[in-house]
Amino acid sequence: MSSCDTCVVRNRAICAVLDSKEVEALNGIGRRRNLEAGEALIWEGEESVLVANVIEGMLKLSTGTEDGREQIVGVAYPSDFIGRPFGARTSHSVTALTDARVCLFARKDFDRFAGEHPALEQKLLRRTLAELDRTRDWMLLLARKSAEEKVATFLLEMSSRLVEPGCEAPGDKPLDRFDLPFSRQQIGDILGLTIETVSRQMTRLKRDGVIGLPNRRAVEILDRQALEASAG
């Protein structure tokens, strides 16, 4: 592995709570892995054997429905922790949405290391609780919000989770321009909308001067206050 001192997410990942000697010890049980867009890292229903920190890129968390369709249930961003420590089986698949780089650990080795370092366990607990809060917010979005509110909320979520270079944590300085790693169809699957509805809402936001769409993937937030109002 490369030196952790040069890691771009060193101050935001779970290992931020460790001192230099502890990071060196963690370094010794892990390895870096590059993923191409579309490459799977973890498979739903299989034994939990891997956990990882996301260094670069974005990955999707998905589960299969009874009729064979894929349902995206979450997105992992740089500095996020993925996998199921202290667990037997994984509840969802993890696949690279973009070219990505992760810091990978055998789950049993990581479990043992975490058990020996209480600060790391506490960091994992705080992240789990934060993820639970995001999940509850997402349940509200899917159950109660209109199509307009869903699309606006989705764009604000992307803006806040992606980190401006030099910021210490997601949300410190939300991005006003970013590339979506999703197709319109995937956005619809995430939000419970049709592709036509997603396209209409994006076009309406563009027409009203709330966002710009420089190309098929790029989004530029032109009026954040109006976008927040659209999100309800």
In DSSP notation, 184-195 reads HHHHHHHHT--H
Q: Give CA angle at 166 (165, 172), nearest 5°.
A: 90
Contact 222, 212 (CB under 8 A): yes
The pLDDT tens digits for 153-188 are 989 988 888 765 455 555 557 889 998 888 888 888
Amino acid occupying residue 90: T
The whole-model pTM stands at 0.77
Domain ranges (residues) in the chain: 4-135, 145-230
Q: What is the pLDDT of residue 172?
A: 58
Q: What is the pLDDT of residue 170?
A: 53
Q: CATH topology for 4-135?
A: Jelly Rolls (2.60.120)
Query: Which string of b and e fits 50-71 if b means at least 16 CB within 10 Å?
Result: bbbbbbebbbbbbbeeeeeeee
Contact 213, 206 (CB under 8 A): yes
- The DSSP H or E segment spanning 133 is helix 118-144
Q: What is the pLDDT of residue 196?
A: 95
Q: What is the pLDDT of residue 1?
A: 47
Which residue, among 94, 100, 97, has the nearest Cα to 54 in the 3D structure? 100
CA–CA dist 160, 131 (Å, integer): 14
Q: CATH topology for 145-230?
A: Arc Repressor Mutant, subunit A (1.10.10)
Q: What is the pLDDT of residue 164?
A: 58
Q: Report the helix count and the strand count for the chain, using DSSP H and E.
A: 7, 11
Q: Which residues of the chain are modeled with pLDDT < 70?
A: 1-3, 5, 138, 141-143, 163-172
Would you give the distance in Å from CA 96 to the centre of its chain?
11
Q: What is the pLDDT of residue 92?
A: 87
